[in-house]
């Protein structure tokens, strides 16, 4: 099964992907997480990607598609949640082709719909575990261990691109590039819309219902 999670930054894709992979037999492909690992490891991809990510811009399609192709190749036979991919119509069309070439398809596209005003607060208050990727919020979901992760004790960080100036560019990129991608999936009949403003446990139930799991 191949499930796509699409939504603006802070709409809850990462939280829901983690929940689904913990409770069901999915692997998560977060292009954002893979890029951040590449930056940490100072690979060639990381060096190229960081200049775009620091400014809140999208990393060029060619780089992202290589990354996704190698993930698909090394996880064949697994059910995948594509978290934050595709973000352009070009990425969407290429993913379809990649999956078709191995006899698979896109089974569902879940769009996390949310008012942009809510996103600013979610992102500026978001703290992410540098070790396991668990997501917290300083007000709505603080860690009981302060600036350490509840789950693994790792350090909680305020992502460079979760600051107000970069957030506005990320939201702009979403409108320009990802909104047409959502329209593309609406036209292909694959789109399921969930209300990303609801509590995470309610969103989780809606997702499970739409996937019949
Ligand atoms: P995320 O962790 O999903 O919020 O992504 C962080 C940043 O990584 C984005 O602002 C982009 O610069 C880059 N990125 C992640 N996924 C993609 C993608 N599918 N296409 C282009 N850039 C991406």
Is residue 2 within 8 Å of 79, Cβ to Cβ? yes
pLDDT the model gives residue 34: 94
128 lines ligand 1 (CB under 6 A): no
Whether pLDDT at 9 is above 90: yes
Domain annotation covers residue 111: yes
Does residue 192 belong to any structural domain of this protein? yes
User: Is residue 181, in this structure, part of any structural domain at all?
Assistant: yes
Rg (CA), the chain: 16
Residue 162 lies in a domain: no
Which among 36, 87, 96, 127 is annotated as catalytic? 87
Let me know if residue 85 belongs to a domain: yes
Residue with CA at minimum distance from ligand 1 atom 11? 58
67 lines ligand 1 (CB under 6 A): no
- What CATH number is attached to the domain comprising 192? 3.40.50.300
Q: Is residue 64 part of a domain?
A: no
170 in catalytic set: yes
Would residue 58 count as lying in a domain?
Answer: no
Q: What is the pLDDT of residues 94-136, one digit of tens each?
A: 999 999 999 999 999 999 999 988 999 999 999 999 999 999 9
Is pLDDT at 11 greater than 90 in this prediction?
A: yes
Q: How confident is the model at residue 190 (pLDDT cuts 50, 70, 90)?
A: confident
Phi and psi, residue 150, nearest 5°: -55, -35
Annotation says 126 is catalytic? yes
Per-residue pLDDT, averaged over 54-81, amounts to 95
Q: For the chain, what is the mean pLDDT?
A: 95
* Residue 13 counted as domain residue: yes
Give the domain extent around 12: 2-26+79-115+169-211
**What is the per-residue pLDDT across 146-174, written as a single tens digit (0 to 9) for each?**
999 999 999 999 999 999 999 999 999 99
Domain count, the chain: 1
Mean pLDDT calculated for residue range 23-34: 95
Active site residue 186: no
Answer yes or no: is the C-beta of 31 below 6 A from any ligand 1 atom: yes
């Amino acid at each position: 099964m191949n499930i796509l999670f699409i939504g603006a930054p802070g709409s809850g894709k990462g939280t829901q992907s983690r929940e689904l992979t913990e409770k069901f037999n999915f692997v998560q492909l977060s292009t954002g997480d893979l890029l951040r690992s590449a930056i940490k490891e100072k690979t060639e991809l990381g060096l190229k990607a960081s200049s775009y990510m620091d400014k809140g811009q999208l990393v060029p399609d060619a780089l992202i598609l290589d990354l996704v192709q190698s993930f698909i190749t090394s996880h064949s036979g697994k059910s995948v949640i594509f978290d934050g991919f595709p973000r352009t119509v070009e990425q969407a069309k290429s993913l379809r082709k990649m999956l078709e070439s191995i006899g698979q398809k896109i089974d569902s596209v879940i769009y996390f719909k949310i008012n942009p005003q809510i996103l600013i607060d979610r992102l500026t208050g978001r703290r992410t575990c540098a070790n396991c990727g668990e997501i917290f919020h300083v007000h709505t979901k603080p860690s009981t261990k302060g600036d350490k992760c509840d789950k693994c004790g790792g350090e909680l960080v305020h992502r460079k691109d979760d600051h107000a100036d970069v957030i506005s560019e990320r939201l702009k990129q979403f409108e320009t590039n990802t909104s047409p991608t959502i329209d593309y999936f609406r036209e292909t009949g694959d789109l399921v819309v969930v209300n990303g403003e609801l509590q995470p446990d309610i969103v989780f139930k809606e997702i499970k219902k739409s996937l019949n799991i």
